Amino acid sequence: MEYIKLNKLTLKTHQAINEAWVQERIAEDPSIIGLGDVELKDKERRQPRAGRLDFLLQDENRRYCVELQLGRTDESHIIRTIEYWDIERKRFPQYEHIGVIIAEDITSRFLNVISLFNSNIPLIAIQLSAVHIEEKIGLHFVKVLDETAFRFEEEEEVESPVTDRAYWENRFETVGLVDQLFTILNENVDLNLTLRYTKSYIGIGQNNIANNFVFFKPRKTYVLLHIKLNQSDEIENEMEEFDIEYSHRGNFYLLKIYPNHIDNYSVPIGKWLKMADVYSNL
């Protein structure tokens, strides 16, 4: 196989390529930036008294507020991204909104600053590289900071207003998936459990008292399953083996559970639920 040396370009100072050219390439195929199967919702989206958002991208239930900057990221880039994210999430609260910063050079200093925001504001940082190959130019995008998509907010357990099943059924069709997970829970835990419906999540009750060592957040195509467990390499290896997307926040694992996971992996899911019961009683 023949080796080709890649010649990296600095787009900020390039004589022929500018930010508008890069924007066009992203608009043609938004998947190149590495956020999955997203579609272009809007470009140069006007913001009230706040300029224009470079891109608004969307997948099934998320919207990404994307700001592009050639060269090195700076304070104004971060502030604009957060400002546009805040405007969009307030205008369209039915969607999850994620702020996305794209730049050629994301320094360790600004990566640390973004990480601090990331604990409260969902932000993604993507580093852009351009290479020159045989009279052609290629763009390469690498995610250097992921958003805390699965932030666990402990106050929800005690402060979320109580509602009923119909509230969730009117919002998401995946409430039936919650029922299936709850069945697996009952099959593996010898407790008299019930589902408790709040406006932020569907929790677990025992003898009319909240016992949220497990709780659920239905979404459009999946259920975000929260399981109270210490972080474990063994558990994470299993989740990766079964292709279950997960994160660990606080003392909870957060798993994206799709219908096919119930069909194929009910046994390991049941094991993790049982482990959560044991862990919560330590």
pLDDT per residue over 165-174, tens digit each? 999 999 999 9
The amino acid occupying position 262 is I
How far apart CA 68 and CA 65 sit, in angstroms, is: 10
Please spell the DSSP secondary structure of 184-223, one letter per residue: HHHHH--S-EEEEEBSS-EEEEETTEE--SEEEEE-SS-E
What per-residue confidence (pLDDT) applies to 181? 96
Q: Which residues of the chain, if any, have pLDDT below 70? A: 61, 117-119, 147-160, 250, 282
What per-residue confidence (pLDDT) applies to 249? 74
What per-residue confidence (pLDDT) applies to 24? 93
What per-residue confidence (pLDDT) applies to 158? 44
Structural domains in the chain, sorted by start: 7-145 (3.40.1350.10), 156-280 (3.90.1150)
Neighbours of 14 (CB within 10 A): 14
How far apart CA 133 and CA 105 sit, in angstroms, is: 21
What per-residue confidence (pLDDT) applies to 118? 60
What per-residue confidence (pLDDT) applies to 200? 85
